Amino acid sequence: MQYVKLGGSDLTVSRISLGCMSLGVEHAENARLIHHALDLGVNMLDTADLYDKGLNEETVGKAIKGRREKVILATKVGNQWRSDGSGWDWNPTKSYIKQAVHESLKRLQTDYIDLYQLHGGTLDDPTEESIAAFEELKQEGHIRHYGISSIRPNVIRKWLQEGNLTSIMSQYSLLDRRPEEQTFDWISEAGVGVLVRGAVAKGLLAGKPSKAYLGHSQESIQKLQDQMLAMGIKSSHIAIQFALKNPAVSTVVMGASSEKQIRENVEAITASSLSEKEWEDITSLIPAVRYENHR
């Protein structure tokens, strides 16, 4: 495993992190998978209070009991479940963030969160209020660092300007290169780290049948898939290595539902890679789409 500092923080994170959203509901099985990832050198676990109505945080907390000091624990806040369980509402207010953190800490069975992330964001949010909540939580010792999970350029820029962020979680892949347009430059200039999600584009870059995606036709995606197969390197490894090639990226957050998937994700670090000419050939097959919405 390889490790890097996350932005300008004191967090040293593995280049492959475990996205816990894909875990099931069996605590023993989830603990087995998490322990396997930790044994392979993965040290960052990413969850959210939204996932499984808090059960995901609970299962992560059970799994890391006794191994907490070896884990960089990341979770998210901002999506508040309705009391009747019918869905959730966006709530980035200071009062909610400061209430929700204690519920997450209880479920995670810890007294601090390494990275607390706002789970979304809009330009209509009370951003100053949200930032004040995170800053107070840092001062109180409940969290060590904070960041946001967003694909919206103007939201990202606002948070970079007004907050003391450690990270931005962003969707990024061979099929979604929108962050290259502006946001990665802004993030790098601010000394903030990037957590990549969606590196295998819902499995399209890891063996799933081709279909239209983000404006790309099924035919063009099939062409990319065929070219990746012809490279003689596992497609998922190419996809992960593509994301890690960008200097703005600190870690790629990969979900997994089996030990085999965890091993394959980790093996992308040491697997053979493409030559620069091959990278050029691959990236030329799919045009880099631009942001049209989510400003």
Nearest one of 69, 17, 70 to 44, comparing CA atoms: 17
Nearest one of 200, 209, 213 to 264, comparing CA atoms: 200
The residue written with tokens 């009747």 in the block is 84
Query: What's CA 16's distance to the chain center, in Å?
Result: 10
DSSP label at 122? Answer: -
Longest Cα–Cα distance of the chain, Å, equals 55
In terms of Cβ atoms closer than 10 Å to its own Cβ (0-12, 13-18, 19+), residue 101 is: buried
> What gap in Å lies between CA 254 and CA 250, rounded to an integer?
13
Exposure string over 13-43, b if 16+ CB within 10 A, otherwise e? bbbbbbbbeebeeebeebbebbebbbebebb
Catalytic residues: 51
> What gap in Å lies between CA 246 and CA 171, rounded to an integer?
13
